[in-house]
Amino acid sequence: MDSASGRFLSVNSRFAEILGYAPDELLDSTFHHITHPDHLLEDMGSVQELVSGAVLEVQKEKRYLHRSGKVLWGRLRMVRMPSTPGESPQHISLVEDISEVHQVQELLRNSEERFRTLIADLQVGVLIQSADSEILLSNPKALELLGLSEDQLIGKTSFSPEWNVIHEDGTPYPGPTHPVPQAIATLQPVRNAVMGVYRPVSQDRVWLLVNADPQLYLDQSLHQVICTFVDITARKELLAQLREIEAQNKAIISAIPDLIFSFNREGEYLNISASNPSLLIRPREFLLGTKLTDSLPGPIAEQCLNAIGKALDLKEVQELEYALPIAGKERTFEARLAPSTNDEVVAIVRDITEHKQTAEHQRFLEAQLQQSQKLESLGVLVAGVAHTMNNVLAVIMGVASLNEKSGTAPQDLEAYKIINTACMRGREVVKSLIRFGKPTISMLAPVELLGLVGEVCSLLENTTLSRIKILAVGDGAPLWMLGDAGSINLGLMNLCFNALEAMPDGGTLTLRVSSVGGDSAEVAVEDCGTGMTPEIQVRALEPFFTTKDASSGAGLGLSMTYGVVKAHGGTIDITSQPGLGTTVKLRFPRIPAPVHVKAVTPLAPPLNLRKITLVDDEGDVRFLMTRMLKKAGVGEVETAASGEEALEKLLSGELPDVLILDQNMPGMTGLQLMAKVRDKYPYLPILFSSGQPDIESWEILKQPRVAVISKPFTMEEINVKLAQFASEHNQGQ
């Protein structure tokens, strides 16, 4: 290269290839042609240094312009060539393409930034520590829990002695037994260590539940330790209160009018408390030390001994009822036997003679009341789940939607699409739960069953961790039906979850789609699990019937599936044998394949909204919706956590272009806030953002300049909803 002019005198093929040129195309051109503008003056200065002889060689990293316009990173080495007097100075430029290195470095920086953002938002204290236990990084929650600043924490060892750390029993915490040194010494996780830490600023002590997880290199040497902890101070205080309550209970028991006995396994009377001794068969002094067989008739004594044995073996409360003659009159008693310590049973015996005469009628009324309460409780539960889960799904779907539009890698883009699909299904699950009491079809549309089954299998494969082999099988051409894809998806998921639970040791779950008789489409869910007895199979579709314990579910899964199938005009058939698995066949009316299955949603026009006020009681939802609105083109997003706060801002500040309201909020609801806003600002556009399934049908929201969007939603959906307000706003400018 000619140093004075910057003209290329000779170019090898590799240099030209890096920049997208043929070697001849660069000859007689200058380095200005390929140098990024940001480096041009710097390169000219370096060349001048070579020409003047100030330096003989220059090395640096710089950006180049590829022929296509793409920016490349290269490592440049310029070496001055020897020259004779009068000869134009020349130098050799050697370039190494390091674009991939810079890309990797950028990815690493982005990854670290995402990691720091993640732990900053956690509501769990996090400390990242070196192999020497030195604290390298902490999140805000850790600083809050420990009552320290970063300057007081970073560089110290975990819970230094000057912080006055103690064991759960109040003794000082020696270093070797601290969970972090233990994890470093053993290279194994340490779980659930309870520690008390004195906070110097607030002058109090906080109790922490600490976990320490060593992070290892590939050669199994220690890299660092992640220490996490949560505040359990309230829990410890609650346990102390519980101990006080237990002491009070002992005093209360002594005043209970019922008969209280304690027995060993052989039925020997160990203790008797009788506020009403007249109910005793024999005097207390006579019964102590004797056995049930000495004081009760044979059949009743045997019944009591069996209950004692079950209570001790099963560790469960046993109940029984029996009648005895007391003072010449037959009395009826109800006994509850609960396992105690030291192989003993405590029995509480109550005289229920006076209530027995009306028991049958009372039992009938109570059964009706209990069923009504179950349904009422279920409705309350569903409402709470709907509100909470829609907010959770809104955050997940919003993050996925934002990232899907941010130009991520193709594999990440596919993942975000899957997340969006799953969230959409989740939204339909919540709606389907609410519709359980009266199964209806919310939206009729052509549904291709094999594709729907494939989506179900895809979701299941991500939850079974390959423990169960999942197959989707079709018999040829696509089969179509008219229905609600979300409801059908929910029904299939209920069947699949039951099948997975029936195969605790693994197996194969097959979802088979086939044509039946030409006018019906069938989906069969087949497992190789434990199967059902004929007695259980007969009751399988009954609401609230379940073979599981009370903690495992309400027994609504199969009855919900039956409701969905029936609402679509279909039938359900169950075939099962104990030990040979179960097959559940769902049969639906079939329709011809539609010409146009999926409608294309038109792109929303660009938004030009200057300001939006967002009202939602969930902090995560406010944060995410703010980002979505900003990305949608909104200039300023003002947030409020309650209707009262929003009303104050609207009355005292600048009026927004659009007001976005959540319906279910503590205190003032969305509808109540809208009523107050409409009194003051009758033309202010209002968008309701709610997870209430039927909110779009509310008459009160069918008025001008009011719209509704169901949580969760994507970027496209919020754009479409805001477009009508943006159009009106832009026309008014």
Q: Write out the DSSP string of 232-246.
A: -HHHHHHHHHHHHHH
pLDDT for residue 48 is more than 60: yes
Instruction: Count the helices and strands in the chain (H runs, E runs).
Output: 22, 26
Helix or strand or coil: residue 660? strand
pLDDT-derived band of residue 259, with 50, 70 and 90 as boundaries? confident
**Residue 75: count of CB within 10 angstroms of its CB:** 14
Query: 141 and 122 in contact (C-beta within 8 Å)?
Result: yes
Task: Work out the percent of the chain whose per-residue pLDDT is above 90.
Answer: 11
pLDDT-derived band of residue 408, with 50, 70 and 90 as boundaries? low
pLDDT of residue 552: 44
Helix, strand, coil abundance in the chain, percent, nearest 5: 40, 25, 30
Query: Distance (Å, rounded) from C-alpha 662 to C-alpha 618?
Result: 9
Query: Distance (Å, rounded) from C-alpha 130 to C-alpha 136?
Result: 7
The residue among 6 and 706 whose pLDDT is bigger is 706
Query: Distance (Å, rounded) from C-alpha 651 to C-alpha 130?
Result: 53
Q: What is the mean pLDDT of the chain?
A: 79
Structure tokens at 89: 């100075």
Average pLDDT over residues 688-706: 77
Task: For 540-595, write each residue's pLDDT tens digit.
Answer: 766 555 565 544 444 445 777 887 888 888 888 889 889 889 999 999 999 988 87
pLDDT of residue 517: 82
Residue 311: enclosing H or E segment and its boundaries?
helix 298-314
Listed range (36-40, 203-207, 377-381, 649-653) with the worst mean pLDDT: 377-381
Query: Distance (Å, rounded) from C-alpha 688 to C-alpha 727?
Result: 18
Query: 634 and 609 in contact (C-beta within 8 Å)?
Result: yes
Query: 396 and 620 in contact (C-beta within 8 Å)?
Result: no
pLDDT of residue 686: 93
Average pLDDT over residues 525-534: 89
pLDDT for residue 599 is more than 50: no
Average pLDDT over residues 403-427: 72
**Residue 35: count of CB within 10 angstroms of its CB:** 20
pLDDT of residue 173: 72
Query: Distance (Å, rounded) from C-alpha 530 to C-alpha 332?
Result: 43
Query: Distance (Å, rounded) from C-alpha 441 to C-alpha 487?
Result: 8
Structure tokens at 132: 């020497």
Q: What is the pTM of this model?
A: 0.34
Average pLDDT over residues 230-241: 87
pLDDT of residue 640: 93
Closest among 257, 284, 252, 280 to 271, alpha carbons compared: 284
Average pLDDT over residues 694-723: 81
The residue among 522 and 538 whose pLDDT is bigger is 522
Helix or strand or coil: residue 407? coil
Query: 482 and 448 in contact (C-beta within 8 Å)?
Result: no
pLDDT of residue 365: 53
Q: Torsions phi, psi of 342, nearest 5? A: 55, 35
| Domains by residue range for the chain, with CATH | 13-99 (3.30.450.20), 122-237 (3.30.450.20), 254-357 (3.30.450.20), 435-589 (3.30.565.10), 611-732 (3.40.50.2300)
Listed range (160-174, 285-299, 335-349, 494-508) with the worst mean pLDDT: 160-174
pLDDT of residue 480: 92
Listed range (288-302, 329-343, 367-381, 682-696) with the worst mean pLDDT: 367-381
Query: Distance (Å, rounded) from C-alpha 351 to C-alpha 361?
Result: 19
Query: Distance (Å, rounded) from C-alpha 392 to C-alpha 370?
Result: 32
pLDDT for residue 345 is more than 60: yes
In angstroms, how far is the first alpha carbon of the chain from the final one? 59
* 104 bridge partner residues: none
The residue among 54 and 274 whose pLDDT is bigger is 54
Task: For 439-455, write each residue's pLDDT tens digit.
Answer: 445 557 788 898 888 88
pLDDT-derived band of residue 598, with 50, 70 and 90 as boundaries? very low
pLDDT-derived band of residue 616, with 50, 70 and 90 as boundaries? very high
pLDDT for residue 646 is more than 60: yes
pLDDT for residue 645 is more than 50: yes
pLDDT for residue 223 is more than 70: yes
In order of 71, 265, 378, 390, 532, the CA distances from 384 in angstroms are 53, 46, 10, 10, 34
Query: Distance (Å, rounded) from C-alpha 365 to C-alpha 370?
Result: 9
In order of 243, 253, 263, the CA distances from 248 in angstroms are 9, 9, 23
Burial 329-365 (b: 16+ CB within 10 A, else e): eebbbbbbbebeeeebbbbbbbbeeeeeeeeeeeeee
